[in-house]
């Protein structure tokens, strides 16, 4: 339950706090966006449910990009450094942002991380900066982090109707990855077409790309999308 954005509090408290909280965050995110642009860093906000495969995708991205990869990352986690450690082992310089009870990252978290001596030297050498958000399909969607694009992961085991149940997240997405596609043969009740239909009902025209961190399916298209994103500004990520 979040004690930052108000999602765990009575509605009257949320209403009072939400507007100033978001406008302060937006101002900090705008400064971050300029900071990223000045350094030629393409920043992605990677979001999805707990366990959707965010860290596995980034590990697989490092493998797929190989020597081309000049990557850096932060990983939002309530209580551990596990994901940042995994990414570090995969060759991506990474820092953990431990949020305690917070259910999302905000621009201040990212600002502090990018100015940390532990990450700053790697960022100076990086082209892509991945922000793995806290696993959550609700709050992370509304907190701008200065990113060039939002990537939302939803795994095949989550069923077909998540876009309709969590529309805010999917409406903020520039690309949706249908992860763990290797498991589709075991899930006769789930098809790519059904997921695409659910997505089209809330975000018409939004691209859905099936991927598997395990088999490598879809990673070439994902890397091509990432490469196409370089040099584009916010809002131009939907390609
Ligand atoms: N079969 C299969 N399993 C996957 C794939 N990607 C991830 N997994 C598994 O799904 C589980 C969760 O993956 P993570 O990458 O830790 O998921 P996450 O979204 O980073 O999780 P949180 O950071 O805790 O929200 C792990 O057991 C992974 O091995 C995939 O493409 N195929
Ligand atoms: Mg993770």
Residue-range domain boundaries for the chain:
11-229
Question: Helical H runs in the chain?
Answer: 11-38, 54-65, 82-89, 107-114, 120-125, 162-165, 167-171, 192-202, 219-229
CB-ligand 1 contact for 212 (6 Å cutoff): yes
CB-ligand 1 contact for 56 (6 Å cutoff): yes
The pLDDT-based confidence of 232 (bands split at 50, 70, 90) is: low
Give the ligand with the smallest distance to the CA of 135.
Answer: 1
**SS3 assignment, position 150:** strand
Task: Assign residue 170 a region (left: φ > 0; alpha: ψ between -120 and 50; beta: otherwise).
Answer: alpha
Q: What number of other Cβ atoms are within 10 A of residue 15's Cβ?
A: 10
| Mutate-to-test residue for ligand 1 from 47, 50, 51, highest number of ligand atoms within 8 A of CB | 51
Strand (E) or helix (H) holding 210: strand 208-210
Give the ligand with the smallest distance to the CA of 179.
Answer: 1
Residues 165-207 have pLDDT tens digits of: 999 999 999 999 999 999 999 999 999 999 999 999 999 999 9
For residue 79, is pLDDT > 70? yes
CB-ligand 1 contact for 52 (6 Å cutoff): yes
Least confidently predicted of 90-99, 108-117, 227-236: 227-236
For residue 67, is pLDDT > 60? yes
Stated pTM of the model: 0.92
The number of helix segments (H) and strand segments (E) in the chain equals 9, 7
Residue nearest to atom 12 of ligand 1 (CA): 51
Whole-angstrom Cα distance, residue 48 to residue 163? 11
Atom of ligand 1 nearest to the CA of 75: 23
The pLDDT-based confidence of 234 (bands split at 50, 70, 90) is: very low
**SS3 assignment, position 72:** strand
The pLDDT-based confidence of 239 (bands split at 50, 70, 90) is: very low
CB-ligand 1 contact for 131 (6 Å cutoff): no
131, β-bridge pairs: 45, 74
Is the model more confident about 76 or about 66?
A: 76
Q: 13 C-alpha vs ligand 2 centroid, how far in Å? A: 31
Q: What is the side-by-side order of every strand in the sheet holding 208-210?
A: 94-98, 71-77, 128-132, 42-48, 149-155, 175-179, 208-210
| Mutate-to-test residue for ligand 1 from 46, 56, 180, highest number of ligand atoms within 8 A of CB | 56
CB-ligand 1 contact for 33 (6 Å cutoff): no
CB-ligand 1 contact for 216 (6 Å cutoff): no
The pLDDT-based confidence of 51 (bands split at 50, 70, 90) is: very high
Is 11-229 assigned to CATH 3.40.50.720? no
Whole-angstrom Cα distance, residue 41 to residue 188? 41
């Amino acid at each position: 339950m979040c004690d930052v954005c108000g999602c765990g509090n009575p509605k009257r408290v949320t209403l009072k706090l939400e507007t100033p909280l978001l406008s302060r965050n937006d101002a900090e995110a705008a400064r971050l966006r300029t900071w990223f642009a000045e350094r030629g860093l393409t920043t992605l906000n990677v979001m999805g449910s707990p366990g959707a495969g965010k860290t596995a995708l980034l590990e697989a991205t490092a493998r797929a990009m190989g020597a081309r990869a000049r990557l850096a990352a932060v990983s939002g986690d309530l209580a551990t450094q596990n994901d940042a450690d995994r990414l570090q082992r995969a060759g991506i310089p990474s820092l953990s942002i431990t949020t305690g009870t917070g259910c999302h990252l905000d621009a201040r978290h990212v600002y502090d991380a990018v100015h940390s001596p532990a990450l700053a030297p790697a960022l100076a050498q990086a082209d892509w900066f991945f922000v793995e958000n806290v696993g959550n399909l609700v709050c992370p969607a509304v907190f701008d982090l200065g990113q060039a694009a939002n990537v939302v992961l939803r795994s095949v085991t989550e069923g077909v109707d998540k876009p309709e149940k969590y529309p805010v997240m999917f409406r903020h997405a520039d690309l949706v990855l249908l992860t763990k596609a290797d498991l589709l043969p075991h899930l006769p009740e789930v098809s790519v077409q059904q997921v695409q239909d659910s997505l089209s009902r809330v975000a018409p025209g939004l691209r859905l790309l099936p991927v598997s961190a395990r088999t490598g399916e879809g990673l070439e298209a994902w890397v091509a999308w990432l490469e196409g994103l370089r040099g584009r500004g916010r809002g131009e990520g939907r390609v």
